[in-house]
Amino acid sequence: MDGRLVSSMNIIWHKAGRLWLFSCTLVRRLYDSSRRKVSRGCLMFQLNHRRAVISGAASGIGLAIARRFSEAEAEVLLCDREHDAVQARAAEIAAGTGSPVKSFAFDVSDEAAVGQAFAQIGPIDILVNCAGVAHVGTLATTCPADVDRLFQVNVRGTYLCMRASLPSLLRQPGGCILNMASIAATAGIPDRFAYSMTKGAVVAMTLSVARDYVAHGLRCNCISPARIHTPFVDGFVAKNYPGHEQEKLKELAAAQPVGRMGTPEEVATLALYLCSPEAGFLTGVDYALDGGFFNLR
């Protein structure tokens, strides 16, 4: 066989081998990437590097939403008044997901602090208002200071964060606001006078913002969870029912027809859907995540 032909064939085989190895490597990387995404959750609800601000993100529901959004490849901006805690949670999430995560410490009820924080944060696509405080009491046992404290965080804080983020959200295509309300907003829950009042205001604000800005492409929804088992619940039960913690937790679980409390991760999964492009047809919705509380009791 002609030497030049053999040399040409060797070159062709060499290049073909390199191409085959490259193809195998590429396929393997795509496969590994898809497996990582599957392990992170639903492939469909991806946030694709959208910038998401989440308040109350150092613990509980806010922290679970921050983790889930980061797993869905959002750039997550954790906000909380507890500086060390929110900074530590941001570092943990970044290490676990590889997605960009930043933290900001400020009080959502402080107008100047909120304005300064959002100026530092810059453009965003998603705002999730999770910062909130609770209170147990009837009209007779709730003092004006209790009402003021809950109003400052649950109502004023939600309002200030929405107002500060509005110009940015209106500039971004597909801007989205998600507020955290409660079943207490629309159902008569015993001993929750001030809490129910403030969460009712959150639902009302959600509907108002959704209506005012629907023509501008900005969606606004809220989630109304039933009992969710968070560290706050454990602390509340330990403080108010010492020695009877397990009995009280069973009582709280039994309030839902499904027989248990929800988890922060279940709220986070719904939040991911509501803030994803797949929920583009949903706005002005108060979404009850209630374990059958409303319809099955």
| Token couple for 239 | 């403080």
Q: What is the CA radius of gyration of the chain?
A: 24
Nearest alpha-carbon partner for 184 in 285, 293, 271, 65:
293
CA 7/CA 13 separation, integer angstroms: 10
**DSSP character at residue 215:** G
CA 106/CA 109 separation, integer angstroms: 9
Nearest alpha-carbon partner for 216 in 168, 257, 261:
168
SS3 176: strand
Q: Is 195 a catalytic residue?
A: yes
Which amino acid, one-letter code, is at 38? V
Question: Looking at 31, 159, 195, 287, which residue is catalytic?
Answer: 195
The residues annotated with a catalytic role in the active site are: 195
